[in-house]
Amino acid sequence: MYVGNLPAEASEASVTELFAQFGTVRSIKLAKDVFTGKCRGFAFVEMEGHEAREAIAGLDGKQWSGRPMKVRFDEPRGHKSRRRR
């Protein structure tokens, strides 16, 4: 899943704790600034399908440090729907 609009103080531990209430978190990749080490505002979280759907339903739009999170299934790059001619 893609998780966006995270605050700079977010950490792998805090994001894992947030998502663990919906099931087992298999992996998390938090995008960090190279120089400061702070969160760049997004992460990728891997969970089982049914648990991921529950996490999306429970967390999408939820406020964290005054910012509404964006939680959705991740679409691989280059596979966006294109209109055929």
| 7-28 exposure pattern, b = at least 16 Cβ within 10 A, e = fewer | eeebbbeebeebbeebbebeeb
Identify the burial level of 41 via C-beta atoms within 10 angstroms of its C-beta, where 0-12 means exposed, 13-18 middle and 19 or more buried.
middle
The letter for the amino acid at 79 is H
pLDDT per position as a tens digit, 12-22:
999 999 999 99
Q: How confident is the model at residue 84 (pLDDT cuts 50, 70, 90)?
A: very low
- Please give the tally of structural domains in the chain: 1
pLDDT per position as a tens digit, 7-44:
999 999 999 999 999 999 999 999 999 999 999 999 99
Structural domain of 10: 2-72
Predicted TM-score (pTM) of the model is: 0.84
Helix ranges (DSSP H) in the chain: 12-20, 49-59
CATH of residue 17: 3.30.70.330
